[in-house]
A = this chain, B = another copy of it.
Amino acid sequence: MMDKNKITIYDVAKQAGVSRQTVSRVLNNRPDVSEETRKRVQEIMEGLNYHPSAIARSLSRQKSNILGVVTAGLKYIGPSRTLNGITGKAEELGYGLLLKELATFSANNVHPLLGWFQSHQVDGIIWAAPEIEDNRNWLGDLLPEIDIPIIFLTMEKREDVSIVAIDNYLGARMATEHLISLGRKNIGHITGPLDWWEARQRKLGWEAALTDAGFKILEHMWAEGNWSSRSGQTAFTELVEKFPGMDGLFVGNDQMALSVLRTAFEQGRKIPDDLAVIGFDGIPESEFYCPPLSTVNQNQDELGCIAVEELVRLVEKKLMADDVVEPKYITIRPELIIRQSSQKP
C-alpha cells in the first residue's frame, strides 16, 4: 500500500488536521477526546493503513509489553508443551514473547543472554530451561545486576527467586506407593540423568516411598538412563540382571518406559503380572503402548500458564513501585494415571 515510507502519527495528525497529541490520545483510548475527533482520526488511521510503532512507544513509555523466554531442548516434547502454555497465557494477557533457546543445557552464556534481554527492555523473564548440574550458579552473581522480574520453572526451591515447579518428588512418591499398593515387594527404578534436578527429585520420591513402607534402598535396585528410549533399554537390561527379583518398576519417563515394555516382552516377562511398570510424564502415546502404560501426568501446559500469570503479577507490582516482592515457590501437583501396565492382577 502507498509508498513504503512509513506512515507515522504525524501523517495521521496532518491529514486529520489535529496535533500528534490528539492522535496519540485516540491511539491509547484516552477519554479526553471529543467523539467526533476520535472518529475522524480513527477513520484516517484505517485509510492510511497506519500501524503505530511499538518500538517508539516502548522507548518513550519505558515498557515493552514483551516477556523474555529462555528454553532449552525444544526438540523434546516437554519443553515445547510448556512453551505452548506460555504462549497462550501471554497472548491472553497482552504480552509478546521474545524467545531464546539455549544451545546447550550448561550455563556458559547466561550473561550475554541476560544482557540481550535487558537491551530489549523485556518487562520480565521466564527461565524455562531445566536445572542441570551447576547451571544455576550464576544466580548469586548475576541476579542482583538484573532489575527485571524473573520467574524460574521447575527448579530447586530457593529464597531469592520466584519459582513454579511441578512436584516431581510427590509424583514419584505417588507412582511408587501405587506399586506398593499392588503388593509388589521389589520395586526398582530407572532414573533420568542424575545431573538433572528433576531426575534426582523423582529418585528421592521413589526412595522415600520405599523407606516409608519399610523397604531398604540398595544400589542394585536402580539404574540410570538419560530420558531416551535407547537408554531405557540399556538401563532395563542392566537392572534385570542385577535385580532379578524385581516385580515392580518406576521408570523416570515414558520414553524410557516404552523400551522397557518392549524389552520385557522380548524376554517373555509378562506385564503387569511378572512386572508392574509405571512411567512419568503422561505423553499421549503412552496410552497406546503395549500394554498401555501407567504414568504420572505432569501438566506442563499449566506450568507455563501459571508462570506467565505470576510473572505478569511481578511485573505489574514493580510498575507500582511496590517493591516488597516476596518470592514464591508455587507447586503443581502431578496426577496418577493407572493403566494396564500396573493393573491389579
Contacts and interface: CB of A to CB of B under 8 A. Distances in A.
A274 to B, nearest CB: 17
Nearest to A263: B288
Contact of A229 (B97, B121, B287): B287
B80 A91 contact: no
Interface string A233-276: 10000000000000000000001001101100100000000000
Copies of this chain in the oligomer:
2
16 contacts: A54-B116, A56-B59, A69-B99, A74-B80, A74-B84, A75-B77, A75-B81, A75-B84, A91-B100, A96-B99, A96-B100, A96-B120, A99-B99, A229-B284, A229-B285, A230-B287
Interface of A is mostly: helix
A116 to B, nearest CB: 7
Counting chain A residues whose Cβ lies within 8 A of the other chain, the interface size class is: 35 or more
A154 interface: no
A85 B268 CA distance: 41
A97 B97 CA distance: 8
Given A88-B103, A97-B98, A103-B88, A285 B288 contact: no
Contacts of A87: 71, 74, 99-101
B262 A4 contact: no
Interface string A1-22: 1001010000000000000000
A75 B64 contact: no
A301 interface: yes
